[in-house]
């Protein structure tokens, strides 16, 4: 699961297994074998355990490649946490143009008594004719929230003050996209989000507590449809090696569908990947993201655009989740990905990002908020090209910390 919840993996044990397909087939990635045999963490474990393996011949005849990772970690958002993450990558047919399907999930329980349980599936049918996207999540989530009250509250509760807020959250987003032209898709979905048992748990004065509760309420609910357009010519969405991606999602929410209020939003997500230098395996990646409120009505507070609250929880490495928030958000990031070992087991990245918000909550948020850092990549699955990503990022005002993902950040 791509996310910023896990920060530094202290222990790692990887189990790799495949399910037999009804017919033997080789994935498109396996057809393009490099001159030097590639290695992943499973190959290393086999070597350490002195276990004989014919992994390359066995895996080529299987359809599913999956990894399971129990781990422990730490972030500013979770404190120390225990995590179990799983990832499955597979192809619906043996074709060089077939896009890889993937399913990721995890379970996290943290020092701060947070429970995090996401399930994400990105499925491509044969010939890439249909794209099914399921994005489900459950959170029991005591955490810090910034920006509460904004300009309406005195310096006692300014927008740079963190407040501990406890809430439960369920996210149910289901989309289906149909092929219109080569690599161009259109479709829609049903989106449902609900926060409940929202409580400010800090010991605050009566007046400030009242004002914060006014902003947060005790529950927030949004229910509506999603209208989507997608251009994606990447073959591997887990770890893109080249190509372009452009997604536009318009989400109107309606009270007659169960929403707390009528409001709408627009998300524009653009990415590009090029090999640099051209004949190398190194990748220069570009990411632009806009998250806009398109109605007069303001979304519920916890559903406003915010750092780290995109679908994959990856925006804004260098800052704690929820650090900035506003009616509109603009984001840009560059990352350079390069190999460290010739067999592909280890790689590295350097990256920099910038985010800016409308000044609804604070004049400071409309400034350019910079982040940057470096990272290590460890190959978990050489056939689906899935990496374990461990990054250390810095933001402004002494903000810094570890961030981790299964699969690339974008």
Q: Which domains does the chain have, with CATH numbers?
A: 11-406 (2.40.160.50)
Task: Report the C-alpha gap between 369 and 356 in whole angstroms.
Answer: 6
404 in Cβ contact with 388 (< 8 Å):
yes
pLDDT surpassing 90 at residue 45 = no
Burial class (CB in 10 A: 0-12, 13-18, 19+), 145: buried
Structure tokens at 394: 């810095």
Burial class (CB in 10 A: 0-12, 13-18, 19+), 395: buried
- Adjacent-strand bridge partners of 373: 351, 393
Cα diameter, the chain: 69
3-state secondary structure of 321: coil
With cut-offs at 50, 70 and 90, classify the pLDDT of residue 127: very high
**87, 93, 99, 105 alpha-carbon torsion, rounded to 10°:** -20
| Least confident segment among 32-41, 377-386, 395-404 | 32-41
- Predicted confidence at residue 158, as pLDDT, reads 59
Mean pLDDT of 350-357: 97
Structure tokens at 162: 């963190």
Higher pLDDT among residues 280 and 2, named by residue? 280
Please report, for residues 224, 227, 230, 265, 329, the alpha-carbon distance to residue 248 in angstroms, rounded to integers and kept in the order given. Answer: 16, 8, 6, 11, 15
Higher pLDDT among residues 74 and 205, named by residue? 74
Task: Report the C-alpha gap between 285 and 240 in whole angstroms.
Answer: 9
- Adjacent-strand bridge partners of 396: none
In this prediction the pTM is 0.85
134 in Cβ contact with 121 (< 8 Å):
yes
Residue 392 contacts by C-beta under 8 Å, 6 or more apart in sequence? 373, 374, 375, 400, 401, 402, 403
With cut-offs at 50, 70 and 90, classify the pLDDT of residue 183: very high
| Least confident segment among 97-106, 257-266, 379-388 | 379-388
Burial class (CB in 10 A: 0-12, 13-18, 19+), 170: middle
Secondary element (H or E) of residue 188 = strand 184-200
Mean pLDDT, the chain, integer:
84
Task: Report the C-alpha gap between 91 and 266 in whole angstroms.
Answer: 31
Residue 266 contacts by C-beta under 8 Å, 6 or more apart in sequence? 248, 249, 250, 251, 290, 291, 292, 294
Structure tokens at 205: 């004065």
Structure tokens at 268: 């524009």
Higher pLDDT among residues 147 and 335, named by residue? 335
| Residue recorded with tokens 């609910």 | 221
Please report, for residues 192, 326, 382, the alpha-carbon distance to residue 302 in angstroms, rounded to integers and kept in the order given. Answer: 14, 10, 38
Structure tokens at 119: 């399930």
Task: Report the C-alpha gap between 183 and 236 in whole angstroms.
Answer: 13
Task: Report the C-alpha gap between 380 and 377 in whole angstroms.
Answer: 9
Following DSSP, what letter does each residue of 35-88 receive, concatenated?
Answer: SSPP--HHHHHHHHTT----HHHHHHT-SEEEEEEEEEEEETTTEEEEEEEEEE
3-state secondary structure of 157: helix
- Predicted confidence at residue 407, as pLDDT, reads 85
366 in Cβ contact with 357 (< 8 Å):
yes
């Amino acid at each position: 699961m791509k996310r910023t919840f896990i920060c530094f993996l202290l222990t790692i044990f990887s189990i790799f297994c495949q399910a037999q397909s009804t017919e033997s087939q080789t994935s498109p990635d396996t057809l393009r074998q490099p001159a030097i045999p590639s290695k992943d963490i499973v190959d290393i474990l086999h070597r350490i355990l002195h276990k004989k393996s014919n992994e390359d011949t066995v895996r080529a005849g299987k359809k599913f490649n999956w990894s399971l990772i129990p781990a422990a970690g730490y972030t500013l958002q979770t404190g120390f946490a225990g995590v179990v993450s799983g990832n499955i990558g597979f192809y619906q047919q043996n074709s060089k143009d077939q896009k890889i399907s993937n399913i990721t999930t995890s379970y996290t329980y943290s020092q701060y008594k947070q429970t995090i349980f996401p399930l994400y599936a990105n499925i491509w049918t044969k010939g890439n004719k249909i794209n099914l996207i399921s994005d489900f999540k459950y959170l029991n989530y005591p955490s810090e929230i910034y920006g509460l009250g904004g300009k309406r509250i005195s310096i006692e509760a300014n927008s740079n003050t963190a407040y501990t807020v406890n809430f439960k959250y369920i996210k149910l987003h289901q989309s289906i996209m149909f092929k219109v032209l080569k690599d161009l898709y259109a479709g829609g979905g049903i989106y449902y989000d609900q926060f409940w048992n929202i409580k400010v748990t800090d010991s605050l004065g009566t007046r400030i507590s009242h004002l914060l509760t006014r902003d947060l309420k005790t529950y927030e609910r949004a229910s509506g449809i999603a209208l989507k357009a997608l251009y994606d010519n990447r073959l591997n969405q887990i770890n893109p090696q080249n190509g372009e991606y452009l997604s536009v999602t318009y989400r109107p929410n309606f009270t007659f569908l169960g929403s707390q209020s009528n409001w709408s939003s627009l998300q524009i997500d653009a990415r590009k990947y090029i090999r640099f230098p051209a004949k190398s395996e190194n990748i220069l990646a570009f990411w632009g993201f806009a998250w806009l409120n398109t109605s007069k009505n303001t979304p519920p507070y916890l559903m406003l655009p915010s750092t780290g609250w995109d679908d994959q929880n990856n925006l804004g490495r260098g800052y704690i989740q929820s650090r900035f928030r506003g009616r509109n958000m603009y984001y840009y990031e560059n990352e350079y990905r390069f190999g460290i070992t010739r067999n592909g087991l280890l790689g590295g990245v350097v990256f920099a990002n910038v985010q800016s918000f409308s000044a609804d909550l604070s004049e400071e948020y409309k400034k350019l908020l910079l982040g940057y850092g470096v990272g290590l990549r460890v190959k978990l699955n050489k056939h689906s090209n899935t990496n374990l990503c461990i990054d250390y990022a810095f933001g402004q005002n002494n903000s810094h910390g570890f961030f981790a993902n299964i699969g690339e950040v974008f």
